[in-house]
Structures are given as C-alpha cells and as structure tokens.
Amino acid sequence: MSDLTAQTPSACPACAAGPMAKTVASGRKPEGKIVLSLPKIHCAACISGVERLLTKTPGVEAARVNLTLKRAMVDAGPEITADDLAQMLTRNGFEAYELDPGQLSAAEADKPARELLMRLAVSGFAMMNIMLLSVAVWSGAEDATRDMFHWISAAIAIPTVGFCAQPFFKNAWSALRNKRLNMDVPISLAILLAVGMSLYETSQSGKHAYFDAAVALTFFLLAGRYLDFRMRASARSAAQELAALEVPRAFKLVGGTEVLTPIAELAVGDIVRVKPGGRVPVDGVVEAGTSERDRALLTGESLPVPAHPGDAVAAGEMNLTGVLTVRVTAAGEDSSLHRMAELVATAESARSRYTSLADRAAGLYAPGVHILAALTGLGWYLYSLDLRLSLNIASAVLIITCPCALGLAVPAVTTAASGKLFRRGLLIKDGTALERLAEVTEVVFDKTGTLTEGAPELVSHTAEPEEVSVARALASGSAHPLAQALLRDTDGPAAVVEDLREVPGYGVEAHWKGLHVRLGRADWVGADMPAETATWLRVGSAAPVAFKFADALRTGAAEAVADLRAQGIRVTLLSGDSPSAVAHVASSLQIDDWRAECLPEDKVAHIEARRAEGARVLMVGDGLNDTGALAAAHVSISPATALDAARVASDMVLLGKDLSPISGALKTAQQSTRRIRENFTISTVYNVVAVPLAIAGLATPLIAALAMSLSSITVTLNSLRLK
C-alpha cells in the first residue's frame, strides 16, 4: 500500500490524463490551502497545463484542477501566496484569480443538499431491489414463495422509508404540531398508508403488496425536492462566488512598509497597495498611481476602466497595469462587493405574491385531499365491503393528488429567472419585483447618472479664485454628480463655511463670512436658466456665477429606449436639470414625453397620477431626488453607482453601466409569468385527469406514485425553459 494521500477526484475522466500533482506524505498537514478560480479552462489539455505549471513551482506540494468548478486546489508552503500563483498562471495563458477558501468552505458546506442526495441514493438502490422481487411475484410466484418475497421486500422497504422519508415526516409533524396542514402531510400519510397496507397484506398472505410503491414514491419525491433545492441554489451560488472573490488579505502600508494584513483588520482611512495583476481588496479612493481596472467579473464591462488619483475603486476589480495606492473607505462586510453578495443571497429567500398563492392553494388543497381520500375509501367499502380494496384505493388517491407540482410551480420559475437576469447584469433585491416587472406599461427614466454617465466634466466658469473656494466648500457637502465634478475639476483650498446643509432637489447652502451662500439650481439661486448643464453659485447678494458641464449618454441607453418603444412600452424622461439639457438627451434618444426642472415631489406626483390612470410604472433612477419616485413606482431599478438611499429604495440593481439589460428584463419577467401560469395549468390538468382515475380504482399506489412524480418533473422542465 502506498503512503501517498488520496487525491481529490477529478471533475472528469479526462483529468486522469494530466500529470499527477505532487503528493503529500500520509498524515502530514499542508502548510496552506490556496483556491484559484480558472474561468476560461475548458478541456483536459487545460487541466494538464495548469497542473504542470503549479507542480513545477517551488513550494507547491500538491495541486488538483476541477474542471466542473473551474478551480484549482493548491497545497503550498507559507512562502507561496495565491497572488504569486495567479499571476504566474495568467502570464502563461491561464487566466486565474484567487478565491477565499474560508468563504468557499462556509459556502460549500451544503449539508441539506448532501443529505437529500444521500437519501435519494439509498431510496433508489432499495427501489431497484424491491422491483426485482416484485417482478418475481408478478411472474407467478405463489403461496410461500410469494410471501417470502413480500417479507424480504418489507425488510428492505421499512428501514428505507424510515430513513429516506424523514424530511417529509419532520415537516409534516412540525405542521401538525402547530395545528396546520402543509403539502408534506398528505405525502407522509400516503407513504405510511402504503407501507401499512402492504404489511397487513403480507401478514395475511395477500396477493398484492405495495412496498415498491412506497419506496418509489419516496424516491421520486426526494428527486423533485433535490432538484428544487439545486435550482434554488443558483442565486445563492452567485452570492457565494461574489463573496469568495473578496480578497482575504491586503498589503497595508505602515510607515512606508508593506504588511500583509487580513481584510477584517483594515479600518477606514488605512492605506493599502495594489500591485499589477492583483485584485482590489477594498472599496477606496486612489491616492497615488495610475493604472487600468478590469471590472468584467463584477459588471460585465468588456473594456478596462482607467484609474487615476482621486478615482473611486471597488473591491473585486482587477488592477491591470500600474501600482495603485488606495485609501480605504470600506472593507470586508462593508465593501460594495460584500453588499452585492448579500443582495444576491436575498433572491433565494424572496417570495412573490404567486408563491404565497401557491402556498395558500396547497394549504387548502391538503384538507381537501384528505377528505376526498376518506370519502373514496368509505364509498368503496360501502360498495364492495372489502376493507383492503377500499384502503388501497384511498392510498392511491392520497398519492396521486400530492401537491408537489403545485409547490414547485413558482420557486422553480423565479429561481431560474433571477439567475438568468443576474448573468445579464441585473440583480433582483425584492422577490415580488419579477412579477411586478411583467406588468409594466410605462418606464420613467431619470437623466443625470441614469440615462447619462453621471460623471459630467466642468467645461467653463467665470468665478474668481475666492468664489471657487466657496464653491468647493459647498460641493463637498453633496454627492450630486455636478458637485463631485466641480470638486474633481477645480483646484485650490476649500473655504471655511458654517451651517452646511443639502436641500434635496435644489442644492447646498451654508454661511461664509456672514454671507448666505448657495450652490445649486438656477432658479434656487436667482439665475436665468442656461442653455447648458450648469450649477450656479451665489454669494450673498452678488450676481450668480455659472459652472458649466458636459455629460455623455450611458452605454446602451439608446438601445434600451428603442427596444422598450418596440415592445409598446411608454417611455418618459423626468429630470431636475435644465430644459435645454433635458431636451438634448430626449432628442438624442427619441423620447417624446419629457419634463425638466422636476422636484422630487414632482416625480412622485407624476407616478401617482399615472398609477391612478391604471399605468404600471417602472422607475429607473440613481439620485437622492429619485428616492421617493423609486419607492412610489410599481417596480424600480437603480444603477450600482446610485446613492445608497436610491439602491435601498429600488427593487433591482443594474450591476454594469450598460442600460440594455432593462428591456430584456421585461421580456424575461413576462416569460416567467407565462411559465408560472403554465405550471398552474399543468398541475390543474393533471389533477382533473388523474383524480377520477384514482377514485375509480384504475390506479394502483405504484402507478399513482409514478404519475405524481411525472407531473412534478414536467413542471420543473417547463421552468427550466427560461434558461
């Protein structure tokens, strides 16, 4: 026997063709576990190449590539870092990123799925053996031989059902203990009744026993439950991958020296250094250095984004070319990447109105099933005076009317749809959003930061240096894109002001040297409306001074608007900007219905008025002045770059800069609604056809189990059409 440790099985048989990784002596604990993501590997040659490169690296003790997960598991000494290995593989043509093994180990502790799979395997094995014994009985075995086969079947079936059907028994008992019914109650009763009737028949040397039906029912129910669990896990898996992308350590600068520090120990204001080829470990602002960032893993953007001093960077972005020194603004659980992962995770547990309807239907369905089964058994007993026959038919009714398909009708669809939208760059925060999105008849867009980039550039101003310092002081109190652009594109110190406050929809005001100063809308500071996008400064009673800006349309804006119009959706533009600026954007996008100089309450009033007329409005906005409208709309979307208040108020978050996924999301939502209705129809038609057959005594418990499972599988496959 070799003293080498067993290797983790490869994802595919072809992996065995690759070179064996270095092994670790039995009983020896690896110095460190490194997990690398390999998103572009696709074949056995990739596996061989990656493993060969890893095992040739000094300090690497063992490595194994999993093609299915597109990951490499590496055991390495303390002198080897994941960043070193990732850069080495990338240089050699295998794109690689570090994953946090702590996050993955927590995420992949998939105990419920493993338990379901284990019970499924046990029940499947037992079912096959009982079927073999049943074939002997069906072939003509009689008397003592038949009884022997029945008792052997009982010896296999009873412990199998006792172990494998526990999920149904536990859920049913929990419901009954709380004086309510759920779909597991008739399931459990049907299984127990089938086993009980079979035991009674066997003890009486009866010709028929239904141990095969009880175990087959358990097997098919477990298969449906496992498939449902895996489908629900798609949104959670996306959250896990995002969480695992969080860099576990960063190079913190302490007295000019790089110290490798866990992310959990970083604080706001710390300075970290990000080397070329490494991922940004925190949210922050570039203090020094110039580079480009690859944001494809987070937003799907195909082109690199420049990074200069003063630019904001987010955790999970890849630094491509230069060394960046970053001041931390958020790290760990406070980072944008972590918050995004939490938002994805909420998609799994979200419940829509359709789901509630399905649960209510199942709740009403369960007592109806029990009453129907009882009346059927009683009717057959009064007709035939045969207790065995009447109980068998009652069992078949219970099994065939099992509401599994009804329970699968909604979650299977919503999970598939949310996963599809996430892959396209749209994150569902609220579970009812998908249903509401399908009902949209009008889309209302904000302009700045939504239809446009929201990163305007200062093109001209006539302010004196002292006025610029006042403007910079006022702009520092606002997150508005124009205020931020003014800060970015002007130089010099900011004046010292007092009583600084932001007035949503208008601007920022304060006191400076005893004078009331304002920065914001033209009409708010007493200026004439300009032809260009501008913010105005007024110092005391002096004439207002304009700071003029230019902005660009957001990627995909024209395509999104054109596609929405093609779908028959009304498109409206509401903006607080000047009429000339709004008119220019509306003309560029061919939006006929637009309004400028809208206050926050104006946007809310428009949406409420349209709702009173029967419209279902989708609001797309990103600013503080859009928060009320986002909350008032039938459904709402905000870009990932939006203010926190806007993202909280919205139902969905657009992860990238491209607006084109919005129009596609409406189509996906409409398809989802159709699938849900189709699933309800499938469940209804199935019961209309199957129940009379069971009541008429034309379906044995085994046939009932197969028919019930077929309906659940049909519903699941119909839902998967969304993918």
| pLDDT exceeds cutoff 90 at 122 | yes
Question: Model confidence over 494-528: pLDDT tens digits?
Answer: 999 999 988 866 889 999 999 999 998 888 998 88
What angle (nearest 5°) sits at the alpha carbon of residue 492, between those of residues 489 and 495? 110
User: Whose structure tokens read 């086993």?
Assistant: 195
> In the prediction, which pLDDT does 474 show?
94
Strand partners, 98: 36
What is the predicted pLDDT for the residue at 224?
66
Answer for the pair 661, 438: CB distance below 8 angstroms, yes or no: no
pLDDT score recorded for residue 539: 94
Task: Note the pLDDT of residue 362.
Answer: 58
Query: For 234-248, 277-291, 523-537, 581-595, which range has the lowest pLDDT when averaged over its residues?
Result: 234-248
Each residue's pLDDT tens digit, 91-113: 887 878 777 665 554 444 456 77
* In the predicted structure, residue 31 carries a pLDDT above the cut 50: no
Residue that wins the pLDDT comparison between 151 and 83: 151
Residue 27 has pLDDT above 50, yes or no: no
Predicted local confidence at residue 365, as pLDDT: 67
| Nearest residue to 89 via CA among 121, 142, 125, 50 | 50
* Active-site hit among 446, 551, 622, 658: 446
What DSSP assignment string belongs to 309-369? TT-EE-TTPEE-SS-EEEEEEE-GGGSHHHHHHHHHHHHHH---HHHHHHHHHHHHHHHHH
Q: For 152-161, what is the mean pLDDT?
A: 92
Q: How far apart are CA 316 and CA 149, in angstroms?
A: 62
275: exposed, middle or buried (C-beta count within 10 Å: 0-12, 13-18, 19+)? middle
List, for residues 644-700, the tens digit of each pLDDT value: 556 766 888 888 788 989 988 999 888 888 887 887 777 778 777 878 888 888 876
CB distance 326 to 344 below 8 Å: no
Q: What type of residue sits at position 550?
A: A
Domain(s) labelled CATH 3.40.50.1000 in the chain stretch across 433-453+553-650
Percent of the chain with pLDDT over 90: 19
Choice among 28-37, 43-52, 544-553, 584-593 with the minimum mean pLDDT: 28-37
CA distances from 169 to 138, 176, 215 (A): 31, 10, 14
The whole-number pLDDT of residue 24 equals 31
8 A C-beta contact, residue 285 and residue 323: no
In the chain, CATH 3.40.1110.10 sits at: 457-550
CATH architecture for segment(s) 249-334: Distorted Sandwich (2.70)
pLDDT-wise least confident of 217-231, 476-490, 681-695: 217-231
Would you identify the CATH topology of the domain 433-453+553-650? Rossmann fold (3.40.50)
What tokens does 470 get?
A: 């006042």
**pLDDT tens-digit profile of 207-216?**
777 788 788 8
Mean pLDDT of the chain: 78
What's the pLDDT tens digit per position in 322-370?
Answer: 789 999 998 877 777 676 556 544 433 443 444 445 555 656 666 777 7
Burial 487-514 (b: 16+ CB within 10 A, else e): beebeeebbebeebebebbbbbbbebee
| Span(s) in the chain for CATH 3.30.70.100 | 13-99
Q: So what's the pLDDT on residue 2? A: 33
Instruction: Give the pLDDT of residue 537.
Output: 95
Write out the H or E segment, with its range, that includes residue 426.
strand 426-428
What pLDDT is attached to residue 186?
74
Please give the C-alpha separations between residue 523 and each of 85, 474, 519, in angstroms, as whole numbers: 59, 17, 11
Report the alpha-carbon angle 537-468-532, nearest 5.
Answer: 50
- CATH classification code of 13-99: 3.30.70.100
Catalytic: 446? yes
Residue type, position 671, single letter: Q
Over 644-700, what HEC string results? HHHHHHCCEEECCCCCCHHHHHHHHHHHHHHHHHHHHHHHHHHHHHHHHHHHCCCCC
User: What is the band of 6 on the pLDDT scale with cuts at 50, 70, 90?
Assistant: very low
CA distance 430 to 436: 10
User: pLDDT digit string (tens) for 526-562?
Assistant: 888 766 678 899 999 999 999 988 777 888 999 999 9
Tell which phi-psi region holds residue 162, choosing left (phi > 0), alpha (psi between -120 and 50) or beta: alpha
* 232-236 contact pairs (CB < 8 A, 24+): 232/348, 232/411, 232/415, 233/110, 233/113, 233/348, 234/415, 234/416, 234/418, 234/419, 235/344, 235/345, 235/347, 235/348, 235/415, 235/418, 235/419, 235/422, 236/344, 236/345, 236/348
Q: Give mean pLDDT, residues 179-183.
A: 71
Element containing residue 499 per DSSP (H, E): strand 498-503
Q: How far is CA 358 from the centre of its chain?
A: 22
The answer to whether the beta carbons of residues 187 and 214 sit under 8 Å apart is no
Q: Please determine, for residue 431, whether its predicted confidence score (pLDDT) is greater than 90.
A: no
Q: What is the CA radius of gyration of the chain?
A: 32
Compare 668 and 201 and report the one with higher pLDDT: 668
Mean pLDDT on 159-185? 83
pLDDT at 162: 92
422 confidence band (pLDDT: 50, 70, 90): confident
Q: What is the pLDDT of residues 572-615, one digit of tens each?
A: 999 887 787 788 889 989 999 999 888 778 888 898 899 899 99
Residue type at position 209: A
Say yes or no to pLDDT of 624 above 80.
no
CA distance 343 to 399: 39
CA 637 to chain centre: 15
- Residue 654's DSSP bridge partners are 426, 639
Nearest-angstrom CA–CA distance, 388 and 378: 12
Residue 241, Ramachandran bin (φ over 0: left; ψ between -120 and 50: alpha; else beta): alpha
**Which pLDDT score, from 0 to 100, does residue 543 have?**
92
Provide the sign of the torsion angle of the four alpha carbons 482, 487, 489, 491, taken in this order. positive
pLDDT at 366: 65
- The CA-CA-CA angle for residues 611, 616, 617, to 5°, reads 90
**What is the sign, positive or negative, of the torsion defined by CA atoms of 275, 280, 281, 282?**
positive
Would you state the pLDDT for residue 235?
40
DSSP-assigned letters across all residues of 231-278: HHHHHHHHHHHHHHTS-SEEEEEETTEEEEEEGGG--TT-EEEE-TTP
Distance CA 604, CA 629 (A): 5
Homologous superfamily of 457-550 in CATH? Calcium-transporting ATPase, cytoplasmic domain N (3.40.1110.10)
Query: Which residue's entry shows tokens 């992996």?
Result: 15
Q: Is the pLDDT of residue 195 over 90?
A: no
For the question of whether the overall pTM of this predicted structure is more than 0.75, the answer is no
Where does residue 645 fall: left (phi above 0), alpha (psi -120 to 50 degrees), or beta otherwise?
Answer: alpha
Contact 437, 635 (CB under 8 A): yes
3-state secondary structure of 533: strand
Q: Which of 160-169, 199-208, 250-259, 668-677 has the lowest mean pLDDT?
A: 199-208
Residue 568 has pLDDT above 80, yes or no: yes
